Structure 1
Amino acid sequence: MAKKKRILLKIGSNTLTKETDNISRGKIEDIANQIAKLQDSHEFIIVSSGAIAVAKQFVKLESKRKELFVKQALASIGQPHLIRIYQEIFRELGLLTSQCLLSYSDFEKQESKTNIVNTINVLVSNNYIPIINENDTVATDEIKFGDNDKLGALTASLLDVDLFIIATNTNGIYTKASMENKAPKTIEEVNDFSVLMNEVVDSKSSHGTGGMQSKVDAISLAKQSNIETWIVNGLEDNFIINAIENKVPFTKIK
């Protein structure tokens, strides 16, 4: 059998909510349908935000403590709900899922890194799709800094994936001039990373904590491991397959 192409798909909160206040089951169905169609030739690992967004649908926490602690509590409430939604929808298509919660400190210890690689390889080889999120209850980096972009890049590098796809709410990265002219034009292919750095206009997403700068930082990490990265509009239906077939504009960083 030919070796399957390994893809790490990072999905932010803005994509999962389709820029609303609720997690979109339809978007998760869209992702599941695409993975089901590609499963004979590709294997997937998912880094998914969205735990806090899910929790906000169910509860409103009152606290006099710092907002950060409230967000950590919301993540604790929302994470099992998020995984349940993934499991229900993926199972309907015969796809098996598992939950992996990681902290940035896990990437600083060799023993932890080895355990991550071995565990995820066992899951993938047995046709399970690992769904990874930061362990927000004890760690704060994702909440404060990156909407899982950095976590996705570190995981992609550790697992030596063939392709790192960041699903966001734009058609890739736009040129600075086109943004200033309010007529966004996608940078379709990047071979010189320094050129990309000069084009980035940072903007925060409405639900996530990341912006385009955090994606460029993630690309830089993946580049150090010689991993190709795609920035794709995850709000569109069939976004993974359309990108693979070059049917939509997106940014490809070689």
Structure 2
Amino acid sequence: MKKKRILLKIGSNTLTKETDQISREKIEDIGRQINILKDEFEFIIVSSGAIAAAKEFVKLEHHGQEINVKQALASIGQPYLMRMFQENFRELGLFTSQCLLSYSDFENPKSKGNIKNTIDILVANNFIPIINENDTVATDEIQFGDNDKLAALTAALLHVDLLLIATNTDGIYTKASLENGKPITISEASGLVELKQEISSEKSTHGTGGMQSKIEAATIASNANIDTWIINGIKDNFITEALNGVSHFTKIKA
């Protein structure tokens, strides 16, 4: 039986569980769920969190612009982040690999082909690719989108069956429910225009995206005929519960 392919995007807020440091417990939770689902699904992960990982260990002096300091922090934090994934996943019998990509890679047909071929081989050999933006040469994630766009472009390139975007809310809430302080999740949507009218422009604590970038990611996925689910990654078992239909989240139909 051919496995369904899921691209899981994990934001910094999910990985830190809205604290000031990466949560090993959360990485273990993700690995445990993937291990449960591995006979039915194959996973590709797009993970933020390199800057948050670095901030646990270092405080850099400002010898330049703020954006350059963040790029330096990403360079320091990326190996720490990968080590946490590798150690936690290995204990579950899962193997990981690192892929650092830039948006410019998606504009070059040869680069796109190389990315797809490499990741297909990794997945076929039971390695879980963990993708992040190459922040030392590109600043798009730091400035604009917390990897949401990168996840959607990768999902489209790899022809995945589902894009899961883990965030710190139970999906997208109706604007009216947020205004009266009692958030209500939009459970399903097929029209992105209507969703755009509902979303808040607020950014997340550690991340740089907010719901706007998730809608833009869903648009890219939708154009590639891929459904997007926006789920609450802070909660334990968020992947298995979403797949079993027992949690509140937003499904955006392609």
2:186 counterpart of 1:187: yes
2:130 counterpart of 1:131: yes
Q: Distance in 2 between matches of 1:116 and 1:188?
A: 33
Q: Aligned letter for 2:19?
A: T
Q: Distance in 2 between matches of 1:26 and 1:222?
A: 30
1:82-93 aligned at under 5 Å gives the runs 82-93=81-92
Identity, in percent, stands at: 69
Q: Distance in 2 between matches of 1:78 and 1:100?
A: 15
Query: 1:157: which partner in 2?
Result: 156
Query: 1:222: which partner in 2?
Result: 221
Q: Secondary structure at the match of 1:58?
A: coil
Deviations 1:34-67 (A, max 9, x none): 0000000000000000000000000000023100
Query: 1:38: which partner in 2?
Result: 37
Give the TM-score, by structure 2 length.
0.99
Query: 2:116: which partner in 1?
Result: 117
Instruction: Note if contact 2:32-2:92 (Cα within 8 Å) is conserved in structure 1.
Output: yes
Q: Distance in 1 between matches of 2:128 and 2:190?
A: 31
The CA RMSD measured in Å over matched residues stands at: 0.5
Q: Distance in 2 between matches of 1:97 and 1:34?
A: 15
Q: Distance in 2 between matches of 1:202 and 1:94?
A: 40
Query: 1:65: which partner in 2?
Result: 64
Query: 1:96: which partner in 2?
Result: 95
Q: Secondary structure at the match of 2:56?
A: helix
Q: Distance in 2 between matches of 1:210 and 1:192?
A: 21
Structure 1 segments, 4+ long, off by >4 Å, are: none
Q: Distance in 2 between matches of 1:201 and 1:50?
A: 23
Q: Distance in 1 between matches of 2:244 and 2:112?
A: 34
Give the TM-score, by structure 1 length.
0.99
Q: Distance in 1 between matches of 2:43 and 2:68?
A: 32
Query: 1:17: which partner in 2?
Result: 16
Query: 2:203: which partner in 1?
Result: 204
Deviations 1:139-173 (A, max 9, x none): 00000000000000000000010000000000000
Q: Distance in 1 between matches of 2:62 and 2:175?
A: 41
Q: Structure 2, unaligned stretches of length 5 or more? A: none
Residues matched between the structures, number: 253
Instruction: Note if contact 2:192-2:215 (Cα within 8 Å) is conserved in structure 1.
Output: no
Deviations 1:101-137 (A, max 9, x none): 0000000000000000000000000000000000000
Q: Aligned letter for 1:153?
A: A
Query: 2:74: which partner in 1?
Result: 75
2:179 counterpart of 1:174: no
Q: Distance in 2 between matches of 1:67 and 1:193?
A: 34
Q: Secondary structure at the match of 2:241?
A: helix
Q: Distance in 1 between matches of 2:70 and 2:108?
A: 27
